Structure 1
Amino acid sequence: GVTLDERFMNEQMSLPPKLCLKSGALIRYFNDSMEGTQLLYKNNQDFLSLSANNRSVLLNNTIKYITDLSTNFICHLIVL
């Protein structure tokens, strides 16, 4: 998570302004980020011990808040 974000921002800040944050780089960043998030849930035994319905309810009811909180935390850490 944070290491990926720091690496991405360092790469982007080393580029000339016209080349920073181009759509291709952002798409790769979000794909890498989503893959990492997916692994987190695939390897979490507490999450996997829930029934499929309970996992769905948990994700549907909390994902917005988790995403907002995570985004703010990461932006703070990488000084964005």
Structure 2
Amino acid sequence: MAYYRCRFPQEYALANAIDHPRNVILREDILVDPLDAWLASAFDPVGRRDTICALAEASRADDGPDPVPCQNLSHCV
């Protein structure tokens, strides 16, 4: 059985006033099926455009232009 471990730097938590455990451990067998289902739905033909737009929006710098405007994504989906 495999486990995933996420170590959260204490300095980041303190600097950003976040209450977070230092380590989170998750069994792989609990994660994989729900993650696969979510990814399949996020990139299925119905949800793909919304997912790509959300990713583009999330990666956009606050002071910069949108690197991949959603209106130009018609050729991708």
Give the TM-score normalised by structure 2.
0.31
In our comparison, the structure showing a higher alpha carbon Rg is: 2
User: Could you say which structure has the higher strand fraction?
Assistant: 2
Give the TM-score normalised by structure 1.
0.30
User: Could you say which structure has the higher helix fraction?
Assistant: 1
